[in-house]
Amino acid sequence: MILTKEYNVKKNDFVNAGKVSVEVKRLLKETGISPSTIRRIGIACYEAEINMIIHSLGGDITFNVEDDGKVTLSFDDVGPGIPDIERALVEGFSTASMEAKEMGFGAGMGLPNIKRVSDEFSISSSSEGTHLLIGFVEQ
Partner 1 sequence: MKARKILEILDAKQVFVQDEDMLDKDYEYCFATDLMSDALALIKNHNESLVFITGLCNPQAFRTAMMLDVDFVVFVRDKHTDETLIEAAKDLGFNFFKSPKTMFDACVCLGNEGIKGLDIN
Which residues sit at the interface with partner 1, rule CB under 8 A? Answer: 15, 17-19, 21-22, 25, 35, 39, 42-43, 45-47, 91, 103-110, 112-113, 116
CA-closest candidate to residue 71, choices 4, 136, 138, 5: 136
Helix (H, G, I), strand (E, B) or coil at 94: coil
- The radius of gyration computed from the CA coordinates of the chain, to the nearest angstrom, equals 14
Nearer to partner 1, 79 or 115 (CB): 115
Crossing angle (nearest 10°) for helices 19-28 and 35-55: 160
Nearer to partner 1, 78 or 103 (CB): 103
Nearer to partner 1, 23 or 76 (CB): 23
CB of 102 to partner 1, least distance (A): 8
